[in-house]
């Protein structure tokens, strides 16, 4: 699996390269700036891009914008974005095209090698890997009594949060120590209460939930 990595801090970039290589990823390119990232994504056509939001020369959202432009040129290009802080705007932009293969992680997650590598693989396979803190903030923002989330039970909110992280029904069942059948029932209730069509496509259902939660901000 070929990866283009963009991170301006040398030590972190070098560490991520070594970590990914140790888990059988091929590093097609490891770059430190927006222009380099644009060239690498166009020339290398990787299986997945792991991109720091803030890159030179602007140090604002250059990495994210380069990745989004690459997805416009190559729809469905898997992109995992790394950020120092929770920025809901970045999450919204990343999810805006409604296709899978996207992830948004805080950099703190990088130090959990298993979690980080799992996120890269999940995104590369067309799935979704959203940082729990991002999901919690989205849920909190939409949890007032005038919002549809108010109709969900506490258990359904737990299931929704885990779904939004990209977990399958089996993984959610294991986490909550219940049966998959129980999770399927909760999932059906969640979609019914949120007015969303039930889908067997886990990736699209997660994106649909996130898009709904973020709609009408």
d(CA 29, CA 27): 5
Q: What is the 3-state secondary structure (H, E, C) of 10-63?
A: HHHHHHHHHHHHHCCCEEEEEECCHHHHHHHHHHHCCCEEEEECCCCCCCCCHH
d(CA 173, CA 188): 14
Q: How many structural domains compose the chain?
A: 2
Q: Are residues 88 and 183 in the same domain?
A: no
**144-170 as b/e: b if 16+ CB within 10 A:** eeeeebeebeeebbebbbbbbbbbebe
State pLDDT tens for residues 18-70.
999 999 999 999 999 999 999 999 999 999 999 999 999 999 899 999 999 99
Q: Are residues 86 and 147 in the same domain?
A: no
Average pLDDT over residues 79-93: 82
The more confidently predicted of residues 85 and 20 is 20
Share of the chain above pLDDT 90, in %: 46
Give residue 216's pLDDT band: very low, low, confident or very high (50, 70, 90).
very low
Query: Where do we find the tokens 């049966």?
Result: 179
Q: Are residues 184 and 205 in the same domain?
A: yes
Using the 3D structure, point to which of 115, 130, 145 is the last residue of a domain: 130
Q: Are residues 139 and 126 in the same domain?
A: no
Phi–psi pair at 43, nearest 5 degrees: -85, -35
Q: Are residues 143 and 205 in the same domain?
A: yes
CATH at 206: 1.10.10.10
Q: Are residues 152 and 114 in the same domain?
A: no
Q: Please state which of the ranges 35-39, 45-49, 99-103, 106-110 shows the lowest mean pLDDT.
A: 99-103
Q: Are residues 210 and 184 in the same domain?
A: yes
Find, among 106, 57, 55, 52, the residue nearest to 79 by Cα. 52
Q: Are residues 34 and 95 in the same domain?
A: yes
Distances (CA, A) of 61 to 48, 79, 91, 113: 19, 14, 12, 25
Q: Are residues 166 and 117 in the same domain?
A: no
CATH at 28: 3.40.50.2300
pLDDT given at position 206: 65
State pLDDT tens for residues 140-157.
665 554 466 778 899 998
Structural domain of 102: 2-130
- Do residues 27 and 5 make contact, with C-beta atoms less than 8 angstroms apart? yes
Q: Are residues 122 and 178 in the same domain?
A: no
Using the 3D structure, point to which of 130, 159, 181 is the last residue of a domain: 130
Among 35-44, 87-96, 185-194, name the most confident range. 35-44
Q: Are residues 87 and 158 in the same domain?
A: no
Using the 3D structure, point to which of 72, 101, 130 is the last residue of a domain: 130
Tokens at 8, concatenated: 């301006």
Tokens at 22, concatenated: 């140790």
Q: Are residues 23 and 120 in the same domain?
A: yes
């Amino acid at each position: 699996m070929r990866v283009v990595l963009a991170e301006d801090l040398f030590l972190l970039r070098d560490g991520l390269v070594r970590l990914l290589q140790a888990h059988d990823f091929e590093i097609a390119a490891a770059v430190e700036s927006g222009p380099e990232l644009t060239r690498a994504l166009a020339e290398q056509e990787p299986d997945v891009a792991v991109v720091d939001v803030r890159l030179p020369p602007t140090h604002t959202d250059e990495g994210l914008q380069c990745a989004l432009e690459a997805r416009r040129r190559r729809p469905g290009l898997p992109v995992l974005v790394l950020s120092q802080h929770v920025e809901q705007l970045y999450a919204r932009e990343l999810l805006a095209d409604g296709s899978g293969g996207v992830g948004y992680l805080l950099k703190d997650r990088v130090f959990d090698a298993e979690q980080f590598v799992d996120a890269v693989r999940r995104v590369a396979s067309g799935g979704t890997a959203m940082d729990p803190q991002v999901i919690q903030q989205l849920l909190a923002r939409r949890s007032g009594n005038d919002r549809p989330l108010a109709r969900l039970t506490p258990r359904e909110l737990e299931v929704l949060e885990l779904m939004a992280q990209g977990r399958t029904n089996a993984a959610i069942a294991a986490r909550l120590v219940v049966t998959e059948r129980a999770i399927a029932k909760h999932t059906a209730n969640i979609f019914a209460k949120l007015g969303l069509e039930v889908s067997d496509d886990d990736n699209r259902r997660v994106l649909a939930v996130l898009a709904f939660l973020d709609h009408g901000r």
